Amino acid sequence: MNIKFPNNNHSSNTPDISLVMTSFGARCM
């Protein structure tokens, strides 16, 4: 999956990535 995050700071934006993945999953369903 190629998901482009607004911020590429994986170390500090861990919660944001979780939210994005949740939103992405919701859209798939």
> pLDDT tens digit string along 1-29?
566 666 555 555 566 777 777 877 776 65
CB 4 within 8 A of CB 19: no
| pLDDT for the residue numbered 22 | 80
Q: Distance of CA 24 to CAs 2, 15, Å?
A: 11, 14
Structure tokens at 16: 């944001």
CB 26 within 8 A of CB 9: no
CB 21 within 8 A of CB 15: no
Please tell me whether residue 17 adopts helix, strand or coil conformation. Answer: helix
pTM of the predicted model over 0.85: no
Structure tokens at 7: 């911020």
